[in-house]
């Protein structure tokens, strides 16, 4: 039996390095300094970006605030906002290939997954456009004859958007169109590792006719750009996606101004496999769930919890599928598992695997970095580790790589206890043909999303987010949209019978 299915490097004319500039008040701004991104798979410089400092960040915040206050976006009709958002969606679809190639070169993810991410983002913009036209509050007509109460929904103001490297275009599209639909203005900071697709989005926003200053982009690092976006008094809300460690720093940094903070953080997402499940389908979904985006995915199903009677057979199925997963050159349209984002991260992944083996875990497959012919060495083999105990670091921490951990259980109660024995609570899943088992699990699992007999299906209509240390607030869907709205109560005396407070003695 072959060990792995490896796709060696294909012939591909790499584009010239992408030149990224800040977008401030509708203008492209060069940086006094720049930074480079070296492709994880191809080892060459693929982008050179302006490096933002305090000056550019202050300017971008000022532009977003002035634009918000001017009302050219915040006070126009929902219909006008929706028209712009729909144009952006069309432009995204027309530019999928360009965005996807750059995203694959910067992140190392397979090109098919970059194309899916960029193309799918258009749907988020279309859904947000529909919400722009449906903002409404409540009316209270039962407060007494003289009174009418109205609850209004206002845009929250200037929003800073800080995104991670692993789905830069998708996550930007989970936030920006919803903020814009609400009437907010924004300052965006993409990850320093994958800045270019956000700049490409800026180009599309200008082409779509978004007013200058409604969205501003500053490229650069957590310090000082992300930090200033978390502390500045003119930022009304920070929406952040990234690691739990940085999410905690942002919460601390933002406390000085008590701005609203929405956080989408890490996960250690379990799938429970019951003996009555469709095991073929479950094994395929587990394989997809752990290797999608090279396992560098907040929703990675990085641990499975399998009933002990079927564990051996089920692991054998997953290992057999893992050998067939196409691993290698991320530019090959056929590849399913690409490169690891940085050399340091590759070492960190391996550390988790080697420590687990040293503590008695069993390596079923993979377990080491592997160079791909014609490319660099920043790849990690699809890996399955069994005989893992729940207190090992590999079972508790976000490994963020193509590494599956297998735990076992005897009863459903035990399985649910293992699911909930985690600092994280992003997503969880169960595989069973028994609807009662699925519903009981869904009610008891501590997670923002529960999947039954499927994994990682998502829709713009459905809220996404985590509980516990996986985050706070919700993104997408109507609940995600509401995060960008402030509630204002308007109390109106409409009758003529107001009793005077001061009684005249006369
Ligand atoms: P990261 O936390 O290292 O960086 C995220 C962003 O924060 C980057 O733009 C970075 O420059 C910025 N940043 C760093 N320090 C900062 C600071 N002090 N103040 C403000 N901003 C700062 O995360 P990453 O490595 O880019 O992404 C991987 C992480 O993101 C994983 O933990 C993953 O689970 C998580 N993630 C979560 C979701 C979700 O929806 N829950 C989605 C994708 C990724």
- The domain that holds 141 is classified in CATH as 3.40.605.10
Same domain flag for 133 and 181:
yes
- Point out the residues that are catalytic: 264, 298
What's the CA-to-centroid distance between 239 and ligand 1, angstroms?
11
Same domain flag for 324 and 280:
yes
Same domain flag for 91 and 156:
yes
Q: Which domain holds residue 137?
A: 14-265+466-489
Same domain flag for 178 and 230:
yes
Place of tokens 């982009």: 217
Report how far residue 440's alpha carbon sits from residue 166's, in angstroms, rounded to the nearest whole number.
33
Could you tell me if the CB of 398 is within 6 A of ligand 1?
yes
Pocket test of ligand 1: the residue of 37, 61, 164, 428 to mutate, having most ligand atoms within 8 Å of its CB, is: 164
Same domain flag for 200 and 55:
yes
pLDDT recorded at residue 1: 54
Pocket test of ligand 1: the residue of 20, 113, 229, 246 to mutate, having most ligand atoms within 8 Å of its CB, is: 246
Report how far residue 424's alpha carbon sits from residue 470's, in angstroms, rounded to the nearest whole number.
5
pLDDT recorded at residue 266: 97
Report how far residue 469's alpha carbon sits from residue 426's, in angstroms, rounded to the nearest whole number.
8
Report how far residue 174's alpha carbon sits from residue 171's, in angstroms, rounded to the nearest whole number.
5
pLDDT recorded at residue 498: 84
DSSP state of 424: -
In a domain, 77, yes or no: yes
Q: Do the beta carbons of residue 474 and residue 462 sit within 8 Å?
A: no
Indicate the helix (H) or strand (E) that contains 216. Answer: strand 215-217
Place of tokens 């969606």: 89
Same domain flag for 377 and 446:
yes
Query: What are the residues facing 304 on neighbouring strands?
Result: 271, 406
**Which CA distances in Å does 80 have to 85, 177, 479, 485?**
9, 13, 22, 18
Alpha helices in 71-209 (DSSP H): 78-94, 96-107, 111-132, 168-182, 196-208
Please list, in sequence order, all residues whose beta carbon lies within 8 angstroms of the beta carbon of residue 2, skipping any fewer than 6 positions away: 323
What's the CA-to-centroid distance between 438 and ligand 1, angstroms?
32
pLDDT recorded at residue 499: 85
In a domain, 504, yes or no: no
In a domain, 372, yes or no: yes
Same domain flag for 242 and 95:
yes
* Number of domain units in the chain: 2
Report how far residue 21's alpha carbon sits from residue 391's, in angstroms, rounded to the nearest whole number.
46
What's the CA-to-centroid distance between 501 and ligand 1, angstroms?
56
Distance of CA 52 to the CA centre of its chain: 23
Report how far residue 64's alpha carbon sits from residue 212's, in angstroms, rounded to the nearest whole number.
9
Report how far residue 163's alpha carbon sits from residue 161's, in angstroms, rounded to the nearest whole number.
6
Report how far residue 153's alpha carbon sits from residue 450's, in angstroms, rounded to the nearest whole number.
30
**Which CA distances in Å does 398 have to 53, 173, 318, 339, 430?**
31, 24, 20, 18, 20
User: Could you please report the per-residue DSSP string of 344-387?
Assistant: HHHHHHHHHHHHHHHTT-EEEE--SB---TTS-S--B--EEEES
Report how far residue 487's alpha carbon sits from residue 473's, in angstroms, rounded to the nearest whole number.
16
Same domain flag for 241 and 319:
no
Describe the crossing of helices 168-182 and 196-208 by its angle, rounded to 10 degrees.
Answer: 40
Query: What are the residues facing 490 on neighbouring strands?
Result: 150
Q: Which CATH number is 401's domain given? A: 3.40.309.10
Distance of CA 453 to the CA centre of its chain: 23
In a domain, 498, yes or no: no
Cis ω before 224 (30° cut-off from 0): yes
Same domain flag for 41 and 54:
yes
Same domain flag for 112 and 223:
yes
Could you tell me if the CB of 273 is within 6 A of ligand 1?
no
Q: Residue 358 phi/psi, 5° resolution?
A: -60, -30
In a domain, 6, yes or no: no
Same domain flag for 161 and 44:
yes
In a domain, 207, yes or no: yes
What's the CA-to-centroid distance between 263 and ligand 1, angstroms?
10
In a domain, 460, yes or no: no
Same domain flag for 316 and 395:
yes
Could you tell me if the CB of 226 is within 6 A of ligand 1?
yes
Query: Can you list the residues of the chain whose pLDDT is less than 70?
Result: 1-2
pLDDT recorded at residue 2: 62
Could you tell me if the CB of 221 is within 6 A of ligand 1?
yes
Structure tokens at 139: 């009316």
In a domain, 191, yes or no: yes
**Please, what sign has the CA dihedral across residues 22, 112, 344, 9?**
negative
């Amino acid at each position: 039996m072959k060990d792995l299915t490896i796709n060696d490097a294909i012939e591909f004319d790499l584009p010239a390095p992408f030149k990224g500039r800040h977008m401030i008040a509708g203008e492209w701004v060069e940086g006094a300094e720049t930074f480079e991104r070296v492709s994880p798979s191809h080892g060459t410089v693929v982008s050179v970006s302006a490096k933002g400092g305090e000056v550019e960040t202050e300017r971008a915040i000022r532009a977003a605030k002035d634009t918000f206050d001017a009302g050219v976006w915040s006070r126009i009709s929902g219909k006008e906002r929706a028209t712009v958002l729909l144009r952006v969606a069309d432009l995204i679809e027309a530019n999928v290939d360009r965005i996807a190639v750059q995203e694959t070169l910067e992140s190392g993810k397979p090109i098919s997954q970059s194309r899916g991410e960029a193309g799918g983002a258009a749907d988020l913009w279309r859904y947000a456009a529909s919400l722009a036209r449906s903002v409404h509050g409540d009316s209270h007509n039962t407060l007494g004859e003289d009174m009418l109460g109205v609850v209004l929904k206002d845009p929250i103001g200037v929003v800073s958007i800080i995104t991670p490297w692993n789905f830069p275009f998708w996550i930007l599209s989970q936030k920006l169109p919803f903020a814009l639909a609400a009437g907010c203005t924004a300052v965006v900071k993409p990850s320093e590792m994958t800045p270019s697709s956000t700049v490409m989005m800026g180009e599309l926003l200008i082409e779509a006719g978004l007013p200058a200053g409604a969205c501003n982009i500053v490229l650069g690092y957590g310090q000082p750009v992300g930090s200033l976006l978390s502390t500045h008094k003119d930022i009304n809300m920070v929406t952040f996606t990234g690691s739990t460690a940085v999410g905690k720093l942002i919460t601390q940094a933002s406390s000085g101004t008590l701005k609203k903070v929405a956080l989408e953080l890490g996960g250690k997402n379990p799938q429970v496999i019951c003996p009555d499940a469709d095991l073929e389908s479950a094994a395929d979904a587990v394989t997809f769930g752990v290797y999608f985006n090279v396992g560098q995915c907040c929703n990675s199903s990085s641990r499975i919890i399998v009933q002990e009677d079927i564990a051996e057979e089920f692991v054998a199925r997953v290992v057999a599928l893992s050998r067939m997963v196409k691993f290698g050159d991320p530019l090959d349209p056929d590849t399913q598992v690409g490169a690891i984002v940085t050399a340091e991260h590759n070492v960190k992944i391996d550390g988790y695997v080697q420590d687990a083996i040293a503590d008695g875990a069993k390596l079923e497959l993979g377990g080491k970095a592997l160079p791909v012919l014609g490319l660099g060495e920043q790849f990690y083999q699809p890996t399955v580790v069994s005989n893992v105990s729940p207190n090992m670091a590999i079972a508790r921490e976000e490994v963020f790589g193509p590494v599956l951990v297998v735990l076992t259980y005897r009863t459903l109660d035990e399985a649910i206890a293992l699911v909930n024995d985690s600092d994280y609570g992003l997503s969880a899943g169960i595989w069973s043909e028994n609807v009662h088992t699925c519903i009981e699990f869904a009610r008891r699992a501590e997670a923002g999303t529960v999947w039954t007999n499927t994994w990682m299906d998502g829709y713009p209509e459905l809220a996404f987010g985590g509980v516990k240390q996986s985050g706070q607030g919700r993104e997408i869907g109507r609940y995600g949209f509401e995060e960008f709205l402030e509630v204002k109560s308007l109390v109106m005396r409409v009758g003529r019978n107001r009793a005077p407070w001061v009684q005249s003695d006369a």
